[in-house]
Amino acid sequence: MAVGIFDSGLGGLTVLDAVHHRMPDLPLAYMGDNAHAPYGVRDADDVYHLTKNAVERLWQEGCDLVILACNTASAAALRRMQESWIPSDKRVLGVFVPLIEALTERQWGDNSPPREVAVKNVALFATPATVSSRAFQRELAFRAIGVDVEAQSCGGVVDAIEEGDKILAEALVRSHVSALLRKMPNPQAAILGCTHYPIMQDIFQDALGPSVKVFSQASLVADSLADYLDRHPNMKGSGQVSKFITTGDAEQVSVQATTFLRRKIVFDTV
């Protein structure tokens, strides 16, 4: 009964960690496409084909349900995969919807028409590919009206985090927040639209100020996944062993992942 978690790099480990703490007995198979990271600068077709290959690999590991713990893949590939490719006995879920449900104070599965919500001004921080896809705005429009979203493309932040350069990552975050605040001086909420960004959540919060509520995805996705599996226990696949696999250099990725999560992580090569 394994669930697959996929990301182009290490950011999805924040989701894996939250899921593990929420459901410690659930085997998790994590795949990082580190050889092709970052996805945030790739075009939609490229992201689609890379994501499709990764999902198929996780199905081979006995994961009937795969979480795309990558905002770029969720934005650029998920809808296309759901509409034309995923077989009826498999599920692939993204990371946008749990976050938007929290922002709009909706319960899972609430498909009522869009309505006005308390939050009117939202800052979105994401990769260039996620920003250009406008997937967040599209999903939000299904649930809420009258919300102004200002998106800020945060180039360089993912690379700095994966390289362990926290000084550069902090400088870039503060620069991107300043750029957004020039366009939207008084956001009520901020969305960290990349699973790498929880590592820098305190910096985002400090740069935005205490009046801005910062939404991060890892815990929200973990709670939504637990709810989903309670209602769909048949989607727990046949896999029995937790594992970490990568398209990159397994030894190097293991060192980076151990630093990233601050606990021992060992990857195998796909």
Please list the active-site residues.
70, 194
CB atoms within 10 A of CB 118: 11
Using the 8-state DSSP alphabet, how is residue 248 labeled? S
Burial label, 30 (beta-carbon count in 10 A; 0-12, 13-18, 19+): buried
φ/ψ region of 2 (left if φ > 0, alpha if ψ in -120 to 50, else beta) reads beta
Rounded to whole angstroms, how far apart are CA atoms 20 and 194? 19
245 has which bridge partners? 31, 268
Token pair in block for residue 95: 């990371």
Measured distance CA(3)–CA(23) in Å, rounded: 11
